[in-house]
Amino acid sequence: MKKLFWLLIIGILFAFTACKNSPKPQINIIPQPERMFVNDREYKLDQNSRIIFEDPNPALRLIAEDLAQFISSGSNFKPEVMPYSLTKSIENDIYLSISLNDSILGDEGYQMKTNNGQFISIQANTARGVFYGVQSLYQLFPDAFYSQEKHAEMWKLPAVTIKDRSRFAYRGMHLDVCRHIFPVEFIKQYIDLLAMYKYNHLHWHLTDDQGWRIEIKAFPRLTEVGAWRDETLIGHGGSSSKVYDGKPYGGFYSQDEIREIVDYAALRYITIIPEIEMPGHASAALAAYPDLGCTGGPYKVETSWGVFEDIFCTKEETFAFLEQVLDEVMDLFPSKYIHIGGDEAPKTRWKTCKTCQQRIKSEGFADEHELQSWFVQRIEKYLNQHGRKIIGWDEILEGGLAPDATLMSWRGTAGGIEAARLGHDVIMTPVSHCYFDYYQGDPAAEPLAIGGYTPLSKVYTYEPVPEELNEKQAKHILGAQANLWSEYLKKPENVTYMALPRMAALSEVLWSPSKSHDWEKFYDKLPSHFLRYDALGITYSKAVNQIRVEETTNADDDVMLNLKTEVPSGQIYFTTDGSEPDTLSKRFEQPIEKDAIEILNMQLYRKGQKIGEIQQRTFNRSAYE
């Protein structure tokens, strides 16, 4: 009897030790939940599973139906969707509820539990919170769900307990459709990507010098004329001799299409903020209605990129026009914010315009900068009368900031810091970290971009709240946004390539607590997300795995090659004799003299495993001999 007792004790201890030492599954949720515990059990989803939603709630029904559709895309079954009142039981099911009543989680937080591996519950205070919980649930599905092993009879999901909420209220992505326009279906796909990563705002840049993209029924020439340019610049706008393709280019979104997109976004808890540029970046509008400019024209829809001197005049006819335009914009977009641009508005025309100079004199302004501030404030008052607020780029600080304006700080952090100190709300979007039209890898190996260098790791390490602000001022930092300007993004696949996976990195910056940010853990989650992009047929970048070659000079003026990687714990091995490098080759530890190399083959390793393919650079030694 005593022997049996000790055998039982040993068995229990062995089972406990095995369970304790067994590796927990890799959880690949982006953005990282605030609190998460991984249990040892698994939840088995199969043809007997149902999706039960708390009733009566049509918003939860829609979320449940989307979840069922998602599951059916990788399974041989589609779970039945039904309200709780019709079943009164939850067994092997997924349960969605908004009866949590947890003030700490707010409107966007959620709680997910896998109860003893038997059923999954996602609870929140609002349907929005449940929606975000379901986005996390999607990311618990195994990688095989997105691979060739799809359409299984049963899927095992790790059993987790999550309590999660957002760090920032504003989490935004931007899309410029003026330089290049994209189909309605792609705009919806872009919105889906934002939803995947819990973004809640899309800043839609709809008017600029190169095209007016929104139908305004009161002014049909805006799309008849302003939506079309004669040709488009080929190559980089900074080149000394510019070449054009000679092909007319343009298009616009009808009001019906815009309503369709706005409704689509709303179902995914994304608010679309339209941008109608003023007083600058107005060439397309002036081409359609020349009387709105200071000179009367002629004007044209611009065919190249940059900043142009012709802007809206401050005459009364201009404000009558803009107010009618904004009336239709407000009818289409329920957003409390309307973005009015305000950036890059040269004052050249205003300085020689009799109307503008008379306005400066009669209003007692010191200069044209104060005139622009007055212009912005006048538009703000009109929008405020209709229950809306303005957002503008940080140039709207010049000459005095409009009383109730929210500022987007893009030229760095200085504008955001100044505005927050003045008591204004701020959305941070500095070129240093948030311009996704910048290169993310070695330009020699990347598609043409406007310039700059914003790699994935730099995006991930961004902190939106400037350390210069005190606690009270910091509360005015609503969040941050990444911008995608489309001068060099001609097709949808160019957009997604520049956005992904940088969009994922910024989402974790904006949603997750700063103390949980961990570059190495984030990098470990990427392969699972790459599989999901592949399954969706989405083009994306793997520049994070590139080896960057930088040239420097030493004290003897020798040109040296420095090899860099942003891969955490990444090691670079190289050869110079044309052979394929491996871990027996020379490991890069210090700069290499360029003069001694014709062919440089490089291979990246991490934890003993190859990362990506061999990367090669060739050099012409004759210049050094």
pLDDT at residue 239 is higher than 70: no
Which range of residues forms the domain containing residue 408?
170-536
The rounded distance, in Å, linking the Cα atoms of 492 and 479 is 26
**What's the pLDDT at 18?**
41
Q: Which residue bears the tokens 């080929």?
A: 234
Which of 281, 339, 424, 517 is the catalytic position?
281
Average pLDDT over residues 380-392: 97
Query: What integer pLDDT is reported at residue 7 of this predicted model?
Result: 42
Known catalytic residue at 339: no
Single out the catalytic residue among 54, 108, 176, 208: 208
Set 344, 418, 446, 518: catalytic member: 344
Task: Look at residue 17 and tell me if it is in a domain.
Answer: no
Closest CA to 434 of 210, 139, 186, 170: 170
Provide the residue type at 222 as one letter: L
Shared domain for 420 and 389, answered yes or no, is yes
Single-letter residue type at 94: I
Q: Give the CATH number, domain containing residue 316.
A: 3.20.20.80
- Taking the C-alpha atoms of residue 2 and residue 602, their distance in angstroms, rounded to an integer, is 65
Neighbouring-strand partners of residue 157: 43
56 pLDDT tier (thresholds 50, 70, 90)? confident
How large is the average pLDDT for residues 285-310?
A: 97
For residue 509, what pLDDT band results from cuts at 50, 70 and 90? very high
Whether residue 201 lies in the annotated active site: no
Contact in structure between 458 and 407 (CB atoms under 8 Å): no
Are 582 and 515 in a shared domain?
no
The predicted-structure confidence for 111-156, as pLDDT tens digits, reads as follows: 999 987 789 999 999 999 999 999 999 999 999 998 766 688 899 9
Tell me the two tokens of residue 129: 């919170």
* Structural domain ending residue among the three candidates 137, 164, 191: 164
Q: Tell me: the pLDDT tens digits for 545-585?
A: 999 999 999 988 999 999 999 999 999 999 999 999 999 99
Q: Give the model's pLDDT for residue 117.
A: 74
Decide if 352 is inside a domain. yes
Concerning whether 316 is annotated as a catalytic residue, the answer is no
Residue-level pLDDT at 371: 97
Closest CA to 528 of 182, 218, 147: 147
Last residue of a domain, one of 536, 562, 582: 536
Q: Are 488 and 495 in contact (CB under 8 A)?
A: no
Pinpoint the alpha helices (H) of 225-341. 255-266, 283-288, 316-332
- pLDDT score of 297 more than 80: yes
CA-to-CA distance for 389 and 382, rounded, in angstroms? 9
Read off the pLDDT of residues 207-228 as tens digits, 9 standing for 90 and up: 999 999 999 999 999 999 999 9
Instruction: Collect all residues with Cβ–Cβ distance below 8 Å to 440 and sequence separation of at least 6.
Output: 446, 453, 454, 455, 456, 498, 502, 541, 543, 544
- Is residue 9, in this structure, part of any structural domain at all? no
> Helix-strand-coil percent breakdown of the chain, rounded to 5?
35, 25, 40
* Lowest-confidence segment of 143-147, 158-162, 165-169, 270-274 by average pLDDT: 143-147
Instruction: Let me know whether 476 and 567 are in one domain.
Output: no
- The answer to whether 301 touches 359, Cβ cutoff 8 Å, is no
Q: Do 581 and 505 share a structural domain? A: no
Q: With contact defined as beta carbons under 8 Å apart, do 112 and 136 qualify?
A: yes
- Give the whole-angstrom CA distance, residue 243 versus residue 246: 9
Pair of tokens at residue 255: 């009001």
* pLDDT level of residue 623 (50, 70, 90 thresholds): very low
Q: Say whether both 184 and 321 belong to one domain.
A: yes
Same domain, 405 and 521: yes
Confidence band, pLDDT 50/70/90 cuts, at residue 399: confident
Region 347-375 average pLDDT:
97
Lowest average pLDDT, out of 84-93, 137-146, 232-241, 358-367, goes to 232-241
**Within a domain: residue 466?**
yes
According to DSSP, the residues that pair with 481 across neighbouring strands are 172
pLDDT of residue 44 exceeding 60, the answer is yes
Residue 456 in contact with residue 529, Cβ under 8 Å? no
Residue 520, helix vs strand vs coil: helix
User: Helices marked H in 272-367 — which ranges?
Assistant: 283-288, 316-332, 348-352, 354-363
Percent of the chain with pLDDT strictly greater than 70: 94
User: How many domains does one find in the chain?
Assistant: 3
Q: Kindly report which listed range (43-57, 209-223, 342-356, 461-475) carries the lowest average pLDDT score.
A: 43-57
Is 240 a domain residue? yes
Query: For position 22, what pLDDT does the model report?
Result: 54
d(Cα 456, Cα 543) in Å, to the nearest integer?
Answer: 8
| Backbone conformation region of residue 502, classed left if phi is above 0, alpha if psi is from -120 to 50, else beta | alpha
Rounded CA separation 322/349 (Å): 19
Residue 15 Cα distances to 3, 12, 42, 337, 421, angstroms:
18, 5, 17, 58, 59
Domain boundary among the residues 126, 143, 164 is at 164
Are 104 and 242 in a shared domain?
A: no
Q: What percent of the chain lies above the pLDDT cut of 90? A: 85
More confident residue, 148 or 338: 338
Whole-angstrom Cα distance, residue 227 to residue 287? 10
Kindly state whether residues 293 and 312 are assigned to the same domain.
Answer: yes
Tens digit of each residue's pLDDT (9 = 90 or more) over 57-101: 899 999 999 999 999 999 999 999 999 988 878 889 999 999 888
Q: What is the CATH number of the domain that holds 66?
A: 3.30.379.10
**Site of tokens 């009015």:** 340
Taking the CB of residue 317, how many other CB atoms lie within 10 A of it? 12
Q: What is the pLDDT of residue 387?
A: 97
Report how far residue 425's alpha carbon sits from residue 238's, in angstroms, rounded to the nearest whole number: 35
Same domain, 102 and 246: no
Query: Would 562 be classed as within a structural domain?
Result: yes
C-alpha distances in angstroms, 564 versus 384, 424, 446, 505, 602?
51, 40, 16, 20, 11
- Say whether both 230 and 349 belong to one domain: yes
For residues 157 and 174, membership in a common domain is answered with no
Query: Is the same domain home to 381 and 454?
Result: yes
* DSSP string of 50-78, one letter each residue: EEEE-SS-HHHHHHHHHHHHHHHTTBS--
CA distance 241 to 353: 32
pLDDT of residue 25: 82
pTM as predicted: 0.94
The pLDDT of 278-289, averaged and rounded, is: 98
Whether 8 is in a domain gets the answer no
Domain-embedded: residue 198: yes
